[in-house]
Amino acid sequence: MKVRATRLGYYGDNRRWPGDVFTLAQSDDFSGRWMECVPDDTPERCTTAKQALADTIENLSPLPKTPRPEPVEDDDETGGVLVDFDPFAT
């Protein structure tokens, strides 16, 4: 019986990534929680850890850029620079 992993799972001492196609040793090994049946002529597919990491990195969304506050001159005798920053501003 050939199946496709729909979620991350383990079978046969191997981690199976979504989209991997593999053959079950016994039909009793089928788990509807993370597998779906496919036709027997479907080619087997096995994702390597390196491929899975590359896919994960590719799908990461960049963090939104937060505008930096503009520095404001300090008018007290220290001569330092203050930053006009409101932590509650959206």
- Asked if residue 20 is part of any domain, the answer here is yes
Strands 35-37 and 14-16: unpaired
- Asked if residue 30 is part of any domain, the answer here is yes
Total number of domains in the chain: 1
One-character DSSP codes across 18-47: TT-EEE-SSGGG--TTTEEE--TTSPPB--
Q: What is the pLDDT of residues 34-73, one digit of tens each?
A: 999 999 999 999 998 899 888 888 878 777 777 776 766 6
- Asked if residue 11 is part of any domain, the answer here is yes
Instruction: Quote the pLDDT of residue 22.
Output: 96
- Asked if residue 10 is part of any domain, the answer here is yes
- Asked if residue 43 is part of any domain, the answer here is yes
pTM: 0.61
- Asked if residue 45 is part of any domain, the answer here is yes
Which uninterrupted H or E stretch holds 63? none
Range of the domain at 38: 2-59
Summary mean pLDDT of the chain? 83
- Asked if residue 85 is part of any domain, the answer here is no
